[in-house]
Chain A
Amino acid sequence: MSGDHSPESDEVLGTRLRAELRRYAAPTSLRAAITHGGAPPPRRAMWLSPVLAAAATVLALGLVFLLIGPRMVPADPVERLVRSVVAEHTRALMWGARRPEVIPTALPWLTQESGIGLKKVFAGDDHLQFSGAEPVYLEGHRGIALHYRDADGHLLSYVVLPIAGFPVPDRRRVQIERGTSRWRPALMHDSGFSAWVWRQGDLACFIVSDMVSDADVERFKDYFVRLRISTDPVPAQ
């Protein structure tokens, strides 16, 4: 790095980008195809077939999961709840939110529907992009789910349910520190997904994602901190 951050050098760099970069004009054939054809269906891209095949596989696996899932209900209530949250995450992953809403415009509606108020909410940053919020109903509890997507396409679901005295499993707790702050959520796994589980007042909170490898878990910890610090759910009055 040059270390030169003066506004002038920024301006010079901007001028160079405008002046020196080649500009590519659209080929005549492309212009004609769009103009005369009213944008005909594009040629099938090379990568489209494998992507569609992968999507079909995910869909098929999802159906299998839906068929055999109910037969293997865990006895432990916390594990059962985690499984429900993971199933909700899987649904969002495959089909998207039923009615994705953008905070803060939908906040009053979400609070009314979910019974969860948000004193503050993480709206996304360079690493995580907010993709939607929706009310959920899991294991007999109304709650809220916020969905985020990271730069690599991992979907994160942050689910909050009003369960007073929710027992966080002690033996699964992981210590996470950031500056002077410290948290001890439990890290649980179900159906190939990881979930942070913790209690916040009278609320049970979960963050689910498919980040399961050792390297992913470090990043998953970072996402936990980002969401935990910037989101403050409370039971709606």
Chain B
Amino acid sequence: MASDEFHRLALEHLDALYNFAMYLTRNPPEADDLVQETYLRAFRFSHRFQAGTHLRAWLFQILRNTFLTFYRLRERESALAEDGVPTWDVPMFHDAPEESSGAVEAHTDLERALLRLPEEFRTVLLLAEVEGMALEDVARVLGCPVGTVKSRIFRAKERLRGLLQDYTNK
């Protein structure tokens, strides 16, 4: 695929990628960085992209992997005390961190509940439900089988319902 054509097609997904980045980072400057880094990598490795495959899923995959690489590392760093020993036990599916300064505030209970979901659950709902991505594409982004995607969607909705119920009761 010609470079200009690739750039044009890739940029069609800018808004969707930025929206996804905002829900991952909850912070506009970090979302900016994440999306720029995503495009930088996509353009650099555009020769690896196979024409005919799903460009959107490929871009989302790059964005999520970039997010996990930097964000998870940063989370791990901050979870270590000076002696290098974790100050708390890191659970497998950890909830989203508390909002830091500069983070975008959630306006609705639904948004608040979504932001409290662990990244794995939040991502699967954003891709499958909000972006309307096919399960096969979601599986590609997450690097897992379609069956796992289905079970994650089920569990994510279950947790989302629980959180919404909590807000209602409050």
Contacts and interface: CB of A to CB of B under 8 A. Distances in A.
B135 interface: no
A27 B120 CA distance: 26
B101 to A, nearest CB: 12
A208 B63 CA distance: 29
Interface residues of B, number: 57
A170 interface: no
A45 B108 CA distance: 29
Contact of B161 (A13, A150, A153): A13
A58 to B, nearest CB: 11
Q: Which 6 A-B pairs have the closest CB atoms?
A: A42-B36, A26-B18, A1-B162, A47-B74, A39-B39, A24-B22
B76 interface: yes
Contacts of B39: 34, 39
A76 interface: no
Nearest to A123: B145
A18 B130 CA distance: 5
A23 interface: yes
Given A25-B15, A39-B43, A41-B40, A47 B73 contact: yes
Contact of B74 (A4, A18, A51, A129): A51
B37 A10 contact: no
* Residue among B37, B39, B148 with most chain A CB within 10 A: B39
B161 to A, nearest CB: 5
B14 A152 contact: no
